[in-house]
Amino acid sequence: MGSSLFSRVKRIIFLDCLCVLGAQKCPQRWMPVALWRTGLLLCFLSLCACLEEECVLGVVGRPVSLPCFYPKLQGLVNFSIEWRRDSEVVLRSVWRNGENAETLSANSATIPADAAQTGNVSLELPAVDPKEHRMNYSLIVVSEGKQSAALCTVCLRIAASFSPPQLQRDEASPGHETAFFCHSTGGFPEPAVHWLINNTEKPPEGSVRTRTASLPDSRLFNITSHLKVNVSRDTNVSCTIENQPMNESLTSTSYGVKSSPVVGRASEAMWIFSTALCAVVGVMVVVGVAYQVHLDRISKRKKREYQHQQGKRGYKWRNRLREENEAMKPEAKETDV
Ligand SMILES: *[C@@H]1O[C@H](CO)[C@@H](O)[C@H](O)[C@H]1NC(C)=O
Ligand SMILES: *[C@@H]1O[C@H](CO)[C@@H](O)[C@H](O)[C@H]1NC(C)=O
Ligand SMILES: *[C@@H]1O[C@H](CO)[C@@H](O)[C@H](O)[C@H]1NC(C)=O
Ligand SMILES: *[C@@H]1O[C@H](CO)[C@@H](O)[C@H](O)[C@H]1NC(C)=O
Ligand SMILES: *[C@@H]1O[C@H](CO)[C@@H](O)[C@H](O)[C@H]1NC(C)=O
Ligand SMILES: *[C@@H]1O[C@H](CO)[C@@H](O)[C@H](O)[C@H]1NC(C)=O
Ligand SMILES: *[C@@H]1O[C@H](CO)[C@@H](O)[C@H](O)[C@H]1NC(C)=O
């Protein structure tokens, strides 16, 4: 259906062109209509061409296949295939009597082994590099000493994932602006950065400054975005790195703190800890003092009991001494004798 509509459109353009160019007799009154229709359709076609110029997406670190079909290959006996990147030959494959005689390639690029039978000469690239971004690959067939025009031209588009953004919040003194830094690395192409305040508001104009750096050897991007804005400490601020070709949106959020301006989350924890410590020490002191009082009481009672006993024992002791002395007296006399 699409193709029949397309062929009808083509016939109208063809007839209009003939009319405009005067190659065919057409009623005079057709002329203006043909003119504006031709112009309109040319616009439409150039728009189509723009849309059709969508390139094949190659992701860094993943293989990619550049599609190309050339069914006429099945009718050739001796020929060679060349895939070129701009003017540089990436792959050359020589076929004799329908058999692959040899294939030379740069960067391990391949084509299907049954290319001559199926006409599928898609180029398989095991890896892609950001240096190849927007480069054209084209297929050329050489047969009987004649070189064809480019049979397929495929444009390659490169993409690579960014690292999850790191968001840093530099709290200012009250009344001053808070600074936020959002940093991400290693992606391609240049991403878009979006900031959101409390999940809904966009930051005021002129408060965001974004710097991208491309590493000269890899061409991957580093991005640092800087937001300076007057917000309270309980405000959530998020930064999103959007890499459209990768369908990737990476967001990092700095959550606000719900507390007084002086007591942060860390000092709150410290406060709880020290209160608990004070309570424990207090209990220990009270228990210690109570125990000491208890001990003192016990020792006082023991002392009293001891003195009492000592008193009794001392009486007994003196009595016994006296008795013993009295008993020893006669003996002493005896020894004197
Ligand atoms: C193809 O090449 C082979 C070997 O070079 C040769 O013998 C044969 O005649 C060629 N065929 C044609 C059709 O050119
Ligand atoms: C053509 O060859 C490529 C590479 O081997 C493969 O990925 C693709 O599916 C093939 N296409 C068809 C229609 O067979
Ligand atoms: C690739 O091809 C398109 C049209 O086919 C052309 O506009 C573009 O300049 C080419 N790119 C390069 C790098 O040659
Ligand atoms: C900020 O983020 C926290 C944690 O997700 C959430 O509970 C709170 O509602 C957010 N505040 C606002 C104003 O969006
Ligand atoms: C990119 O970021 C990485 C990691 O943060 C850093 O080591 C490197 O120097 C940065 N490169 C440029 C060109 O800014
Ligand atoms: C964000 O939300 C918090 C909590 O609702 C509020 O206190 C704060 O003022 C808001 N910040 C902005 C900039 O709207
Ligand atoms: C992104 O999404 C589009 C449409 O949904 C899809 O064609 C494309 O392959 C996706 N890209 C990646 C890298 O997945």
**pLDDT tens digit sequence for 172-199:** 777 789 999 999 999 999 999 999 999 9
Q: Identify the DSSP state of 126.
A: S
Q: How confident is the model at residue 281 (pLDDT cuts 50, 70, 90)?
A: low
pLDDT of residue 75: 87
User: What is the C-alpha separation between 148 and 93, in angstroms, rounded?
Assistant: 15
Residue with CA closest to ligand 7 atom 14: 246
Residue 23 has pLDDT above 50, yes or no: no
Containing H/E element for 270?
A: helix 265-336
User: What is the C-alpha separation between 314 and 318, in angstroms, rounded?
Assistant: 6
Question: Is 212 near ligand 5, meaning CB less than 6 Å away?
Answer: no
The atom number, within ligand 2, closest to the CA of 124 reads: 4
Question: Is 113 near ligand 5, meaning CB less than 6 Å away?
Answer: no
Residue with CA closest to ligand 4 atom 3: 255
Cβ contact 253:236 at 8 Å = yes
The atom number, within ligand 1, closest to the CA of 77 reads: 13
- Over range 148-175, report the average pLDDT: 92
Higher confidence at residue 30 or residue 104? Answer: 104
Ligand in nearest proximity to the CA of 150: 3
User: What is the C-alpha separation between 210 and 224, in angstroms, rounded?
Assistant: 6
Calculate what percentage of the chain has a pLDDT beyond 90: 49
User: What is the C-alpha separation between 178 and 226, in angstroms, rounded?
Assistant: 11
Gap from CA of 118 to ligand 1 centroid (Å): 21
- Over range 230-238, report the average pLDDT: 93
Candidate from 76, 77, 143, 144 with most ligand 1 atoms within 8 A of CB, to mutate: 77
Contacts 24+ apart (CB under 8 A), 133-137: 133/157, 133/158, 133/188, 133/189, 133/219, 134/55, 135/85, 135/86, 136/85, 136/86, 137/66, 137/83, 137/84, 137/85, 137/90
> What single-letter amino acid sits at 28?
Q
Question: Is 96 near ligand 1, meaning CB less than 6 Å away?
Answer: yes
**pLDDT tens digit sequence for 72-123:** 998 899 999 999 998 899 999 999 988 899 999 988 999 999 999 999 999 9
Q: How confident is the model at residue 245 (pLDDT cuts 50, 70, 90)?
A: very high
The atom number, within ligand 6, closest to the CA of 201 reads: 14
pLDDT of residue 37: 57
Question: Is 61 near ligand 7, meaning CB less than 6 Å away?
Answer: no
pLDDT of residue 52: 45
Q: How confident is the model at residue 280 (pLDDT cuts 50, 70, 90)?
A: low
What is the pTM for the complete model shown?
A: 0.65
Gap from CA of 175 to ligand 6 centroid (Å): 15
pLDDT of residue 292: 83
Gap from CA of 145 to ligand 1 centroid (Å): 12
| Pocket of ligand 4 from Cβ distances under 6 Å | 198-199, 236, 255-256
Ligand in nearest proximity to the CA of 201: 6
pLDDT of residue 8: 54
pLDDT of residue 180: 96
pLDDT of residue 336: 43
Residue with CA closest to ligand 2 atom 10: 120
Gap from CA of 260 to ligand 4 centroid (Å): 17
pLDDT of residue 1: 37
Gap from CA of 136 to ligand 3 centroid (Å): 6
Calculate what percentage of the chain has a pLDDT beyond 70: 69
> What single-letter amino acid sits at 125?
L
